[in-house]
Amino acid sequence: MPVPVDLNAIRDAASIIEGSVVLTPTVYSPSLSKLLGCRLSLKLETQQHTNSFKERGALVKLTGLDVDERRHGVIAMSAGNHAQGVAYHAARLGIPATIVMPETTPFSKIERTRSHGARTVLVGRTLADCRAETERLVAEEGLVLVHPYDDPDIIRGQGTVGLEIIEAAPEIDTLLVPIGGGGLISGIAIAAKALNPEIRILGVEVDSFPSMYEAIHGLPASSGGSTLAEGIAVKYPGKLTQTVVADLVEDIVLVPERAIERAVQLLIEEQRVVAEGAGAAGIAALLHAPERFAGRRVATVICGGNIDSRILASVMMRGLVRDGRLVRLRVEISDEPGMLATVAQVIGETGGNIVEIYHQRLFHDVPVKQADLDAVVETRNADHVREILSRFAELGMKARLLGTSTIDGTVI
């Protein structure tokens, strides 16, 4: 199936969106480069008006509508970034927009979409449930469907990301691109390969949604489940995009959920960039398979930053626990005056910071003259935790970790 998109079509798309879409920076990251063993640059699509690359293709599609199509309006089926990109630019162009979303969509995403003036229709629990309602509205109201990825205008619009990366960092030899339906990687691959035929292009999918990998390898579909990378949790990739990926993409890296979570944490701590799970997928690939990129000049697209605040807080706190920088200690003490002060003194003298403390007398199976003291403690690293535990042992006090913490793969 030939794809009617080439370098000239992508350059035409770049002229269409110029001035209406942010020319986002491609920045070199010394800290992440050192940590991940390659020379890494980040294309920060999080800086778009709606914090995602999706605006590009949406604007190209909307600009190409004729007068009658604009009058009737457009419709999109999305629970996230595509919805906001369509709604934002439709409002700018005076085009009525309808967005069909699952009833389970977080309130914050619904409200952001409505804030751009779009009519939102909530149906079912998943995007698959929204399909029938979308088709009904297209037929009854004459709306134009703005597909999230399987459309030549969408593909060439997303391809402008590739033009900008190559212009900003012509020295790169490897491009890592997240894959959902495939619109972004298809457009980027067409542009980048036309400008530099030797460049390596690799896609990234979370291993619970390997839909593009399975499609191009002729494997049965297996996608499903819950993931932090919901922006690329697509069960069925596009037909047009499959053709491009099979032709131009060298390989697809499948990454585990824990790598996505770690990547979100790293981007904040090392680069001060807030990314959603899908946006951090390229970093997850570097964490999961560093040997494939060692010493290479790599660029990856941080394609979206619309992560729920509560989820982000949980990711960061879980990261502290995982790295041994936030631990729970249980100290066995005799139930007598001054013991609480002794425990606090030991932790303080060794440089730990008590976040929370619980004195367990009544509800734990301990002798009547003893008590368990549970403390949540902020520490520097795993060695610091061991130092605190050793200090308690020197004083003849039994102390142990609750749960398991690790740092650099070592269990504390």
pLDDT at residue 257, rounded to an integer: 96
**Across 86-105, average pLDDT:** 94
* pLDDT of 133 higher than 80: yes
Shortest CA distance to 20 belongs to which of 72, 74, 89, 71?
A: 89
pLDDT at residue 90, rounded to an integer: 97
Distance between CA atoms of 159 and 7, rounded to whole angstroms?
Answer: 9
Q: How far is CA 154 from CA 42, 60, 96, 375, in A?
A: 22, 7, 19, 53
* pLDDT of 408 higher than 60: no
Distance between CA atoms of 409 and 412, rounded to whole angstroms?
Answer: 9
Query: 127 falls in which pLDDT band (50, 70, 90)?
Result: confident
**Across 236-263, average pLDDT:** 96
Domain boundaries, the chain: 7-49+155-318, 54-145, 326-411
pLDDT at residue 412, rounded to an integer: 44
pLDDT at residue 164, rounded to an integer: 98
Backbone phi, then psi, for 41, in 5-degree steps? -120, 150
**Across 271-297, average pLDDT:** 97
**Each residue of 157-197: pLDDT tens digit?**
999 999 999 999 999 999 999 999 999 999 999 999 999 99
**Across 113-141, average pLDDT:** 90
pLDDT at residue 266, rounded to an integer: 97
* pLDDT of 225 higher than 70: yes
Beta-ladder partners of 377: 327, 354
Residue with tokens 């003298």: 349
Q: Minimum mean pLDDT among 2-6, 156-160, 207-211, 316-320: which range?
A: 2-6
**Each residue of 30-80: pLDDT tens digit?**
999 999 999 999 999 999 999 999 999 999 999 999 999 999 999 999 878
**What are 404's two structure tokens?**
């398991």
- Cβ burial 347-383 (10 Å sphere, 16+ → b, else e): beebebeeeebeeeeeeeeeeeeebbbebbbebeebe
**Across 335-359, average pLDDT:** 89
Shortest CA distance to 358 belongs to which of 342, 375, 333?
A: 375
pLDDT at residue 404, rounded to an integer: 56
On whether the CB atoms of residues 76 and 82 are closer than 8 A, the answer is yes
* pLDDT of 360 higher than 90: no
**What are 284's two structure tokens?**
């997850």
Total-model pTM: 0.88
**What are 72's two structure tokens?**
């009737």
CATH architecture, domain 7-49+155-318: 3-Layer(aba) Sandwich (3.40)
Distance between CA atoms of 147 and 105, rounded to whole angstroms?
Answer: 19
What whole-number percentage of the chain has pLDDT above 70?
Answer: 95
* pLDDT of 410 higher than 60: no
Query: 276 falls in which pLDDT band (50, 70, 90)?
Result: very high
Domains 54-145 and 326-411 fall in the same CATH topology: no
Among the CATH numbers 2.102.10.10, 3.30.70.20, 3.90.180.10, 3.30.70.260, which is that of 326-411?
3.30.70.260
**Across 118-144, average pLDDT:** 90
CATH architecture, domain 54-145: 3-Layer(aba) Sandwich (3.40)
Q: Quote the mean pLDDT of the chain.
A: 92
* pLDDT of 405 higher than 90: no
3-state secondary structure the chain: CCCCCCHHHHHHHHHHHECCECCCCEEECHHHHHHHCCEEEEEEHHHCCCCECHHHHHHHHHHCCCHHHHHHCEEEECCCHHHHHHHHHHHHHCCCEEEEECCCCCHHHHHHHHHCCCEEEECCCCHHHHHHHHHHHHHHHCCEECCCCCCHHHHHHHHHHHHHHHHHCCCCCEEEEECCCCHHHHHHHHHHHHHCCCCEEEEEEECCCCHHHHHHCCCCCCCCCCCCCHHHCCCCCCHHHHHHHHHHCCEEEEECHHHHHHHHHHHHHHHCCCCCCHHHHHHHHHHHCHHHCCCCEEEEEECECCCCHHHHHHHHHHHHHHCCCEEEEEEEEECCCCHHHHHHHHHHHCCCEEEEEEEECCCCCCCCCEEEEEEEEECCCHHHHHHHHHHHHHCCCCEEEECCCEECCEEC
* pLDDT of 407 higher than 80: no
Query: 125 falls in which pLDDT band (50, 70, 90)?
Result: confident
**Each residue of 291-322: pLDDT tens digit?**
999 999 999 999 999 998 999 999 999 998 88
**Across 129-138, average pLDDT:** 90
pLDDT at residue 362, rounded to an integer: 53
* pLDDT of 409 higher than 70: no
Query: 365 falls in which pLDDT band (50, 70, 90)?
Result: low
